[in-house]
Amino acid sequence: MSAQPTSTNRPSDSRRGILWIVLSTILLALVNVTVKVLTEDYPVIEVAWARLTFNVLFLIVLFHRKLPTVMKSARPGRQIMRSLLMGVVTVFIFTSLYLVPLANFTALMFLAPIIVTALSMPLLGERVGPHRWAAVLVGFIGALIIARPDFSVLQPAAIVPLVTATLLALYYISTRWISRVDGAMTTLVYTPLVGAGLFSVAVPFVWVTPDLDGWLLMAAIGLLGLGAHFALIKAFEAAPAATVTPFNYLGLVWATVLGFTVFSHLPDGWTLLGAAIIVAGGFYIFHREQRHG
């Protein structure tokens, strides 16, 4: 018999899920800044390989005595498919960034929470009320204000980012689903395995030997990425996907702060307005969850 879904009726579940997803966005923003530094000197495939491979190495260190136990899954096939999905999403993200401008890509990726909200009812059986829909749409408006994509977003090359957003939404949903049958540690261990294997096959063709700083930064994205995915898993374990997913928009806020701190990219007024809308929408749904659970 499958394990029962984690209860989401208690107010503390939603609050905990929201706090976990906020932590995940902070860690992912740190990963992205570090990746941006690394990709100035190393191929993106190599950086992606480093992130997932160091994920695996850190997991082996953490669970070397308990690894056989931790890897016992009620649905190992689903775990492997989720890990494969993560690897595929990574490939599509890199392809999308190659095909379209960054602003357009960013705007299209924030369609993922809307897709999650739309699919969480038929795929997860979760109730999606008007307040959650409003939180997603408000966050998306804030994201559009920050990204301000031009009409080239309608070019055929936008098809790949749209597929990427859909795959990313399915990854979020698969994380929520697997949390109903496996613990967070089991899911964490499975997450990078398939992707690390796929990139290990590709990386020899583009390999550039890192210097000491490069290795340290690559190890850092592995550790930070591991923490981000653990926080993501815990978020979906604690609360419904449609509740926590809108808080992914906060990643734009952290990216703005880190972009100014590290690269001296000063945000303009439109960026600040969009960030304010995202934060306001996030705090509104947080307040709703505290009152109603």
Is the predicted pLDDT of residue 8 greater than 60, yes or no? no
pTM score: 0.70
Distance CA 250, CA 29 (A): 10
- Which range (127-141, 196-210, 212-226, 275-289) has the least confidence? 275-289
11 contacts 208 by C-beta, under 8 angstroms: no
E strands, the chain, are none
Q: Which two tokens stand for residue 48?
A: 């992606």
Mind giving me the DSSP string for 41-100? TS-HHHHHHHHHHHHHHHHHHHHTTTHHHHT--SSHHHHHHHHHHHHHHHHHHHHHHHHS
228 contacts 31 by C-beta, under 8 angstroms: yes
Is the predicted pLDDT of residue 200 greater than 70, yes or no? yes
Rg over CA atoms, the chain:
19
**What is the domain partition of the chain in residue ranges?**
11-292
Higher pLDDT, residue 158 or 92: 92
For residue 123, give Cα distances in angstroms to 117, 120, 142, 177, 257: 10, 5, 27, 9, 36
pLDDT band at 291; cut points 50, 70, 90? low
Is the predicted pLDDT of residue 187 greater than 60, yes or no? yes
Q: Percent of the chain having pLDDT more than 90?
A: 16
Q: What is the pLDDT of residue 207?
A: 95
- Which range (88-102, 129-143, 220-234) has the least confidence? 88-102
Q: What is the pLDDT of residue 9?
A: 44
Q: What is the pLDDT of residue 100?
A: 66
Q: pLDDT digit string (tens) for 42-95? A: 888 898 899 889 988 988 888 888 888 888 888 888 899 999 998 888 778 777
